[in-house]
Structure 1
Amino acid sequence: MKIVVAIALCGLAACAQQEDSFPKLASIEKQACPAPAIQTLVGADRSAALGYEYTPKRVIDPTTAVTRDYVRNRLNFRIDDQGYITGIFCG
């Protein structure tokens, strides 16, 4: 019986340590989408969108299939067929 309890406690300890290694979803959701502040990137090359460090982000090319789900803190870059940013928005 003592062995079973010891194994169970070790298993719980391992789970507790792994949980801390993942980012907290609540803290990610609290980030404000920076789209209003970076409108100066409209007209820039697609590489500016790819290089912009933010998560969650998606770069939408003319042939990219996108879902219609709304994620308020997701940053979206719309790219035209010439490879330039035509729109930056949240959602």
Structure 2
Amino acid sequence: MRHLIPLLFLAACASTQDPPRGPSLPDTCGAGDYSYLVGQPARALERVLIMEELRIIRPQTMVTMDYRAGRINFKISDQDIITDVTCG
């Protein structure tokens, strides 16, 4: 029990803040223009004319790790909701 008390004090000192995020990448593909789609159903993409290169990433979809500055990535959740729009 005597050795447990210092561990409790250390646990109380642990940070509860979110970890810092890396530097944000520049919007090289115009993804910001489509940020209004985040939170909408994936079928909302059917009503948008996108002339740039794009990639739709669903859960369990295998994607390449290559980075293309002009490509727009739409990330779709299990619930078929657009969760993120990024370049790459």
TM-score range, shorter chain: 0.5 to 0.7
What residue in structure 2 maps to residue 33 of structure 1? 29
Higher share of residues assigned helix: 1
Distance in 1, matches of 2:70 and 2:32, equals 12
Spell out, residue by residue over 1:9-48, the C-alpha distance to the aligned partner (whole angstroms, 9 max, x if none).
Answer: xxxxxxxxxxxxxxxxxxxxxxx51211221110011112
Alpha carbons of structure 1 residues 88 and 80: separation in structure 2 relative to 1, 3 Å? same
* Map of 2:55 onto structure 1: 58
List structure 1 runs of 4+ shifted beyond 6 angstroms.
none
Matched, 1:83 2:80: yes
CA deviation vs aligned residue, 1:48-84 (integer Å, no higher than 9, x gap): 2354323310110002100110000000000000000
TM-score normalised over the length of structure 2 = 0.61
**Does the aligned pair in 2 maintain the 1:43–1:86 contact within 8 Å?**
yes
Question: Aligned partners of 1:87 and 1:69: how far apart in 2?
Answer: 18
State the identity as a percent: 40
What value does the CA root-mean-square deviation take over the aligned residues? Answer: 1.5
Contact 1:49 1:77 in 2 (8 A): no
Q: TM-score, normalised by structure 1?
A: 0.59
**How many residue pairs were aligned?**
60
